[in-house]
Amino acid sequence: MPLFKTITPNSTTQVYIWKVEEPLEVLAKSVNLTPHCQTRFDSMKSELHRKGFLSIRHLLHVAGYTDQDLYYTENGKPHLKDGKHISITHSYNFTAIIVSDISEVGIDIEMQRDKILRIASRFTPLKEYKTLANDEAVVRKLTIVWGAKESLYKIYGVKGLSFLQHINVADFDFDDYKSTAVINYHGSQSEYSIDFLEFEGFTCVYALAL
């Protein structure tokens, strides 16, 4: 089982990351999907997406759950039937979940790509990145900020929340591996801790409500 990494941010929270290396048939073994998730799986055209979907079910098993313990609200946000908080992400051959007993959580994995330079102005003020040494550093930092805002969007779960206008990630150094963030939306403010790690050309960011 290619469980790539397990992280324990605190005593009530676990992060599980999977590196997808198995054939689809191997991943499908011992996975019993709910009718809703089976329909979703059957509609997927990409084998990579199918593998990612099944590997997340293996991560659920590692965390002590099955697909039957998971349900989705109308906006697509996942929940666990026992009341614990969960967030799910996948990118190419990596998938991850974060589970917390008490905190609202969000997680995101992104491949580090130059493409992010073209869309950066849509989610963050570019003037904040002028001091970085080179394009590689800019791509790394933008990917972390994007992942943080994706994670926070998953927590908040409200349509209309703007990455650029409503979510602010505090500046950070790469060596810190953490930051903080604030969401200001319709007069309401909430604060979050942000942690990140980089591996094999990917960035994983996860957020916890404070």
The predicted-structure confidence for 6-42, as pLDDT tens digits, reads as follows: 999 999 999 999 999 999 999 998 899 999 899 999 9
Residue 196 near residue 148, CB atoms below 8 Å: yes
Label residue 197 exposed, middle or buried (CB < 10 Å: 0-12, 13-18, 19+).
middle
Residue 81 near residue 65, CB atoms below 8 Å: no
Measured in residues, the chain has a length of: 210
Mean pLDDT value of segment 191-198: 98
Read off the amino acid at residue 152. L
Closest to 109 in 3D by CA, of 42, 19, 170, 10? 19
Per the confidence metrics, is the pTM higher than 0.85?
yes
Domain extent listing, the chain = 3-102, 108-209
For the stretch 112-159, pLDDT in tens is 999 998 999 899 987 767 667 688 888 999 999 999 999 999 999 888
CATH architecture of 108-209: Alpha-Beta Complex (3.90)
3-102 and 108-209: same fold? Answer: yes
CATH dotted code for 3-102: 3.90.470.20
Phi, psi of 61, rounded to the nearest 5 degrees: -60, -45
Q: How many Å apart are CA 205 and CA 140, to the nearest integer?
A: 12
Q: Which long-range contacts (CB under 8 A, 24 or more apart) does 195-200 make?
A: 195/9, 196/144, 196/147, 196/148, 197/5, 197/7, 198/112, 198/140, 199/4, 199/5, 200/94
Which residue carries 């849509």 as its tokens? 122
Q: How many Å apart are CA 45 and CA 64, to the nearest integer?
A: 29
Q: How many Å apart are CA 104 and CA 86, to the nearest integer?
A: 8
Residue 142 near residue 148, CB atoms below 8 Å: no
Closest to 151 in 3D by CA, of 106, 185, 104, 192? 106
Mean pLDDT value of segment 164-183: 95
Within 8 A by CB and 6+ apart from 162, the residues are: none
Q: How many Å apart are CA 101 and CA 60, to the nearest integer?
A: 15
